[in-house]
């Protein structure tokens, strides 16, 4: 694999890559589905960041009078068993999902990058040991490892992030390692070493930036799966606890009990999860096409 | 409201037909039942949950039992089970039972007085060498007044008490007091118990199902009517409900249908008979009175001042839960204080706005206010029935400048954490096995009890508990019980926010169901139930 | 090839041993143990009772000794005793394996049935409206949480049929069982079908661009015969491998689906056992899953090598 950057990729694709705006337009025209995904992801992040401003009421405020109230002008998406506004809860749920998704992706990314760089750059027995560790972690399906981790750590927001981040590490480490291996022998890296740069500096300054393209592709995919795993963990009661309005949590136990009297309890959180993950998947696909020409179809 | 009234009526009508002399019970058939979770074991004495009592009570017998044909468990409605008759000595410290003859254990061995002695020696914590009937004993406190059990031949057994204790007979009549046999080791009691009861265990598949089959040699002639009872373990409540609605189950799990769900059940299964009754499980607040901020009695007072019991009940049960103090309130409860007395207790005021204003005044005096709230954590078990009231409590605390955060605790470490006093406030549920002051007070408020999680220790209350326990005159005893209830409320020891009322439903083919209104733990022998199909 | 096999098998063994240590240690980091749970379940925090149970179960012994006992037992085919049910762990685990396997098998069957043809159609009609539609559909398959799909299916089932599939252990006969497991299998398989479809499509596209396909076309072979005879056969190789890997990784989907549909398989049992801190069950189940995953990976690699002559054996 060779060094790739956006400019080059776009240039190869025959675009006139001047300003940011035209690049965006080009992207949208070349990858309409990817553009839809980007819009969804942007909306998701926007909602999460400005949840306090967007949500009409406090998502944890209970009110006996409105228990299981159907959608109305007051409760756009209805109210839950405790009379809490579903719309506000969904809005704030974006924040939980983003916090866990981005947190897990970030933490898993940092760990994975460190391990991958160490592995690929240092080689030798360190590489061997780290690779075996990655093998072990990949011997269990993502959700199974996350469940065991989450149960060991106990339900809380922080622990959920850790429980999801750890299983994400091996794939990041693998990607970084393989790019590092091929980059290590590249002329520009050798040149940097020749002028007397320290090994760590070479790795971070020259090798890491060039593994960015496959990492971006991977990160987008991982954001989606982290959100899905968070929802599953919370659904099983092992993830983010009440009263945090987690989408997965909203779908567990009580929601299903009122399925017929209050279907909105089941429908909206599921739509929110699916739409968000759908958006990241669309965007991820387009980014893969753009940044990783080998897999272009 | 109107709908629920109609259902109540339907339920009562159903009961009336059952109550009329049952001249044509049909033999046979399999009753299909859902179970809400995997029972921790089959050994009733070792456990404290309805998930064990409801399926396994039918495997056993007691010495005596609360009259299954009465709606309320009370000391005057206790009938023979394994004992044919019983009598007290003159100073009411010796209780002698004459046992039914010719009773056999499910494995064919004869039942004798020795088995009764083995059971209670083990419960007292002084088992004979070589017998190993149980490894856990959560109700040891029930038997602190039991000095010894003596036998006289195979058919007579005497309980010797340290002092008179009229409630002792009630405890023996509870579903939690089956008789075990000397010859079955504890591991077998936990996995495939041997009893004398109307049903034998055919198969117990963990996390999956429990199959009980008719005991053909049951000592009560003509019973049971069913050939078998099949329990399916279904942890998801909505799946259980759908299973009942679609006819896979003949009955719901006890008190499984909350009021918000009831409408749904009735609309999908028009002929369902549903009955609401208190389960004698109350939600209460645990307060750590040994460390700040709630070591300050004034802040404890502000805490109860903000409680709006009605709002809790509206959300949790559409207003059906009952407001009560430490004992289940009348008319369902035998011992609880009357409503007008209850309204004078802190935390049960009918004018919530006024008492909240008082609460705010206290907090302001202590330097708190809307901009400077007191920050606390509310710990609770990570289960919906615990979490739901905790979330409402947090909302109500805001009204007296207390900003609380929920701290969900894994069920596995909940009691350990509470006992370590590693909490500020806790939302707790307490189920009472028998509607009886001895059972409730000794378990939960007596200074020496292991289940007194909050470590509440008031010598006056201890003395009053002992005093009411020895009182044989029921009217006098009630007066003392009410005094204890008042003292507990004034002390803000575990403020009760409500007694749960939930629905149990069954299909009209199931006959002979009699739900008891002051405990869910005592009416599940299944020997009178039959199927009309 | 012999040397390569030896190396692969050795690495597999290393992975599994590492897994056993990892799971053993992780479990003991979990707060609370079985004694806490058993005693606390009665609301009676009695330290004496706890100590006795801990001692009886041997979880107060040194960790190394406990680990050795487990591994040594495993080597002799003894999985130990389940803490909760107090029965041999093998008797608890073994009857659940066929349940989950049937569900997983049926799910893969549905996934292939749906994924392969749609993938082919999508590739052949590349960039058509149909292609876009199918791609969006397959992406949605990867985006829907399985438990939500399960809940929706249950809702629909009640709405239309007035009933839900309740698992019945006594259901015998092929069709009864298929009927009982069909809905949950579709829920589990939906995600896999999306994966399979995507992979079929992309490898079809790759093959269609290859020289020999062009040659076949230029020789006058009909479009259909090129698409379905030449291309599909070659494109299926990567698809077969992903099916193998996916079969092992279905466990994640099984966990939530078995929970939603109340199916007493291994996946739900694992979660239940973790909740109860039932070490023997969790340890052995996790190892079982790891063995399945590692073996599947191995078999897939082998299949790949045997089927694809371009791949050379070596380090």
Q: What is the pLDDT along chain B (533 residues), one digit of tens a residue?
A: 344 434 444 444 444 444 444 457 899 999 999 998 888 889 999 988 899 999 999 999 999 999 999 999 999 999 999 999 999 999 999 999 999 999 999 999 999 999 999 999 999 887 776 667 888 888 988 999 999 999 999 999 999 999 999 999 999 999 999 999 999 998 899 999 999 999 999 999 888 899 999 999 999 999 999 999 999 998 878 788 888 988 889 999 999 998 888 988 998 899 999 999 999 999 999 999 888 899 999 999 999 999 999 999 988 898 999 999 999 999 999 999 999 999 999 989 889 999 999 999 999 999 999 999 999 999 988 777 888 899 899 989 999 999 998 887 777 678 778 878 889 999 999 989 999 999 999 999 999 887 888 889 999 999 999 999 999 999 999 999 999 999 999 999 999 999 999 999 999 999 999 999 999 999 999 999 999 98
- Cβ-Cβ contacts under 8 Å, C53 against chain B: 135-136
Structure-block tokens of residue B362? 């206290």
Q: Is the dihedral of CA B151, B156, B162, B167 positive or negative?
A: positive
**Euclidean distance between CA atoms A165 and A163, whole angstroms:** 6
Whether A83 and chain B come into contact, CB under 8 Å, resolves to yes
pLDDT for the residue numbered C211: 66
Q: What is the CA radius of gyration of chain C?
A: 24
pLDDT for the residue numbered B18: 45
pLDDT for the residue numbered B64: 97
Q: Which helix (H) or strand (E) holds B286?
A: strand B273-287
Beta partners for B104?
A: B110
pLDDT for the residue numbered A253: 64
CB-CB neighbours of B86 under 10 Å: 18
pLDDT for the residue numbered B5: 39
Q: Which helix (H) or strand (E) holds B78?
A: strand B78-80
Which residue, among B202, B408, B416, would best test binding to C if mutated, counting the most C CBs under 10 Å from its CB?
Answer: B416
- Is the pLDDT higher at A47 or at A185? A47
For the cut 70, the answer to whether the pLDDT of residue C311 exceeds it is no
CB-based contact C49:B135 (threshold 8 Å): yes
B-contacting chains (≥3 CB pairs under 8 Å) = A, C
Whether B27 and chain A come into contact, CB under 8 Å, resolves to no
Q: Is the dihedral of CA B121, B122, B124, B127 positive or negative?
A: positive
Which residue, among A41, A145, A147, A148, would best test binding to C if mutated, counting the most C CBs under 10 Å from its CB?
Answer: A148
**Euclidean distance between CA atoms C226 and C207, whole angstroms:** 11
Residue in the structure block whose two tokens are 């999508």: C122
pLDDT for the residue numbered C280: 94
Whether A67 and chain B come into contact, CB under 8 Å, resolves to yes
- Is the pLDDT higher at A290 or at B158? B158
Structure-block tokens of residue B360? 């705010």
Nearest to C262 among B234, B415, B418 (CB): B234
Angle between helices C266-275 and C251-261 (to 10 degrees): 80
Nearest to C53 among B135, B235, B451 (CB): B135
- Is the pLDDT higher at B429 or at C165? B429
Structure-block tokens of residue B404? 């609380």
Q: Which helix (H) or strand (E) holds A255?
A: helix A254-257
Point out the least confidently predicted range of A18-27, A173-182, C175-184: A18-27
Whether B248 and chain C come into contact, CB under 8 Å, resolves to yes
Total-model pTM: 0.84
For the cut 80, the answer to whether the pLDDT of residue C223 exceeds it is no
Whether C272 and chain B come into contact, CB under 8 Å, resolves to yes
Segment A87-112, tens digit of pLDDT = 999 999 999 999 999 999 999 999 99
Distance, C-alpha B499 to centroid of its chain: 11
Q: What confidence category does residue C224 fall into, taking pLDDT thresholds of 50, 70 and 90?
A: low
DSSP secondary structure code for residue B179 in this structure: P
- Is the pLDDT higher at C30 or at C272? C272
A-contacting chains (≥3 CB pairs under 8 Å) = B, C
pLDDT for the residue numbered C1: 66
CB–CB contact B395 A83 (8 Å): no
Nearest to C140 among A231, A255, A278 (CB): A278
pLDDT for the residue numbered A271: 95
- Is the pLDDT higher at B24 or at A265? A265
The verdict on ipTM greater than 0.90 is no
Mean pLDDT of the C15-43 span: 86
pLDDT for the residue numbered A293: 54
Mean pLDDT of the A133-153 span: 89
Which residue, among B237, B238, B378, B412, would best test binding to A if mutated, counting the most A CBs under 10 Å from its CB?
Answer: B238
β-pairing verdict for B228-233 and B30-35: parallel
CB-CB neighbours of B403 under 10 Å: 13
Nearest to B408 among A82, A155, A259 (CB): A155
Percent of chain A whose pLDDT exceeds 90: 36
- Is the pLDDT higher at A228 or at A195? A228
Segment C238-264, tens digit of pLDDT = 777 777 777 767 888 898 899 888 888
């Amino acid at each position: 694999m060779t060094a790739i950057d956006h400019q080059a990729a776009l240039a190869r694709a025959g675009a006139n890559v001047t300003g940011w705006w035209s690049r965006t337009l080009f992207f949208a025209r070349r990858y309409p589905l990817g553009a839809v995904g980007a819009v969804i992801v942007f909306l998701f992040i926007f909602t999460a960041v400005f949840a306090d401003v967007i949500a009409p009421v406090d998502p944890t405020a209970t009110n006996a009078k409105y228990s299981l109230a159907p959608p109305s002008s007051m409760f756009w998406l209805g109210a839950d068993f405790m009379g809490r506004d579903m719309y506000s809860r969904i809005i704030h749920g974006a924040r939980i999902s983003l916090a866990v998704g981005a947190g897990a992706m970030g933490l898993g990314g940092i760990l994975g990058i460190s391990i991958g760089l160490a592995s690929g750059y240092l080689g030798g027995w360190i590489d061997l040991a780290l690779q075996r560790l990655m093998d072990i972690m990949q011997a269990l399906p993502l959700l199974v490892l996350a469940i065991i981790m989450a149960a060991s750590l106990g339900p809380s927001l922080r622990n959920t992030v850790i429980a999801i981040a750890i299983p994400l590490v091996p794939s990041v480490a693998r990607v970084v390692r393989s790019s590092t291996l091929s980059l290590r022998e590249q002329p520009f890296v050798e040149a940097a070493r020749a002028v007397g740069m320290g090994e760590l500096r070479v790795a971070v300054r020259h090798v890491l930036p060039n593994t960015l393209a496959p990492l971006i592709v991977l990160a987008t995919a991982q954001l989606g799966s982290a959100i899905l795993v968070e929802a599953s963990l919370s659904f099983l009661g092992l993830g983010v606890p009440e009263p945090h309005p987690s989408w997965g949590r909203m779908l567990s136990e009580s929601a299903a009990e009122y399925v017929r009297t209050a279907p909105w309890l089941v429908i909206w959180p599921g739509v929110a999860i699916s739409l968000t993950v759908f958006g990241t998947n669309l965007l991820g696909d387009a980014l893969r096409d753009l940044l990783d020409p080998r897999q272009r179809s | 409201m109107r709908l629920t009234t109609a259902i109540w009526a339907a339920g009562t009508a159903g009961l009336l037909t059952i109550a009329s002399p049952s001249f044509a019970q049909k033999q046979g058939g399999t009753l299909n039942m859902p179970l809400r979770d995997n029972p921790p074991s089959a050994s009733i004495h070792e456990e404290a949950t309805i998930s064990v009592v409801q399926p396994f009570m039918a495997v056993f017998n007691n010495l005596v039992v609360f009259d299954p044909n009465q709606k309320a468990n009370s000391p005057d409605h206790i009938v023979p089970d394994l004992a044919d008759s019983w009598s007290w000595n003159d100073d009411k410290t010796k209780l002698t039972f004459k046992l039914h003859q010719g009773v056999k254990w499910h494995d064919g061995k004869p039942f004798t007085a020795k088995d009764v002695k083995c059971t209670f020696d083990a419960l007292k914590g002084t088992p004979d060498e070589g017998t190993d009937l149980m490894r856990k004993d959560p109700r040891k406190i029930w038997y602190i007044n039991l000095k010894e059990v003596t036998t006289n031949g195979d058919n007579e057994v005497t309980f010797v008490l340290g002092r008179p204790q009229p409630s002792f007979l009630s405890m023996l009549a509870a579903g939690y007091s089956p008789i075990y046999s000397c010859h079955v080791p504890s591991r077998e009691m936990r996995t495939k118990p041997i009893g004398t009861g109307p049903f034998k265990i055919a198969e117990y598949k963990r996390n999956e199902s429990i199959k009980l089959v008719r005991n053909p040699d049951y000592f009560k002639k003509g019973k049971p009517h069913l050939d078998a009872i099949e329990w399916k373990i279904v942890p998801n409540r909505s799946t259980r409900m759908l299973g009942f609605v679609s006819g896979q189950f003949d009955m719901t799990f006890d008190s499984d249908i909350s009021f918000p769900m009831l409408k749904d059940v009735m609309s999908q299964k028009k002929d369902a008979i549903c009955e609401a009754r208190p389960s004698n499980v109350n939600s209460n607040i645990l307060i750590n009175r040994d460390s700040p901020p709630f070591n300050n009695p004034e802040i404890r007072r502000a805490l109860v001042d903000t409680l709006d019991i009605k709002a809790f009940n509206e959300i949790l049960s559409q207003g059906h839960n009952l407001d009560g103090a430490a004992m289940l309130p009348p008319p369902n409860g035998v011992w609880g204080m009357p409503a007008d007395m209850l309204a004078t207790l802190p935390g049960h005021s009918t004018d919530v706005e006024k008492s909240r204003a008082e609460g705010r005044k206290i907090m302001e005096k202590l330097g708190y206010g809307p901009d400077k709230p007191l920050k606390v954590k509310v710990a609770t078990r990570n289960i919906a029935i615990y979490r739901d009231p905790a979330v409402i409590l947090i909302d109500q605390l805001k009204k007296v400048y207390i900003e609380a955060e929920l701290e969900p605790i894994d069920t596995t470490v909940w009691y350990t954490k509470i006992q370590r006093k590693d909490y500020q406030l806790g939302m707790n549920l307490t189920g009472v096995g028998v509607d009886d002051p001895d059972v409730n007070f000794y378990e939960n408020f007596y200074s020496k009890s292991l289940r007194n999680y909050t470590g509440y220790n008031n010598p006056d209350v201890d003395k009053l508990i002992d005093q009411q326990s020895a009182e044989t005159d029921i009217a006098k005893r009630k007066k003392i019980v009410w005094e204890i209830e008042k003292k507990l409320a004034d002390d803000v020891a575990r403020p009760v926010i409500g007694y749960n009322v939930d629905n149990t439903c069954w299909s009209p083919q199931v006959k002979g169901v009699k739900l008891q209104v002051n405990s869910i733990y005592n009416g599940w022998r299944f020997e009178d139930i039959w199927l009309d199909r | 090839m012999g040397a390569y096999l030896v190396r692969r098998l050795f690495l597999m063994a290393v992975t599994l041993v590492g897994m056993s240590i990892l799971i053993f240690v992780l479990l003991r980091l979990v707060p609370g143990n079985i004694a806490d749970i058993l005693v606390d379940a009665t609301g009676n925090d009695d330290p004496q009772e706890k100590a006795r149970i801990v001692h009886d179960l041997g979880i107060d012994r040194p960790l190394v000794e406990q680990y050795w006992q487990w591994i040594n037992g495993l080597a002799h085919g003894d999985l130990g005793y389940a803490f909760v049910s107090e029965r041999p762990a093998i008797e608890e685990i073994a009857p659940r394996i066929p349940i989950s396997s049937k569900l997983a098998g049926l799910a893969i069957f549905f996934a292939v049935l749906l994924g392969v043809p749609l993938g082919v159609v999508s590739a052949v009609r590349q960039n058509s409206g149909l292609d876009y539609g199918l791609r969006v559909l397959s992406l949605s398959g990867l985006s829907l949480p399985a438990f939500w799909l399960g809940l929706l299916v249950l809702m629909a089932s009640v709405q239309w049929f007035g009933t839900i599939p309740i698992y019945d252990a006594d259901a015998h006969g092929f069709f009864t069982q298929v009927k009982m497991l069909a809905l949950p299998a579709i829920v589990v398989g939906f995600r896999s079908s999306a994966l399979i479809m995507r992979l079929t499509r992309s490898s079809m596209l790759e093959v269609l661009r290859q020289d020999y396909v062009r040659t076949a076309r230029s020789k006058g072979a009909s479009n259909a015969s090129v698409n379905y005879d030449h291309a599909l056969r070659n494109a299926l190789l990567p698809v077969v491998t992903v099916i193998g890997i996916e079969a092992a990784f279905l466990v994640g989907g099984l966990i939530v689906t078995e929970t939603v549909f109340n199916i007493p398989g291994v996946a739900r049992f694992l979660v239940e056992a973790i909740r109860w801190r039932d070490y023997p069950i969790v340890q052995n189940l996790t190892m079982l899953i790891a063995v399945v995953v590692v073996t599947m990976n191995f078999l897939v690699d082998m299949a790949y090598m045997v089927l694809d002559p371009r791949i050379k054996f070596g380090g």
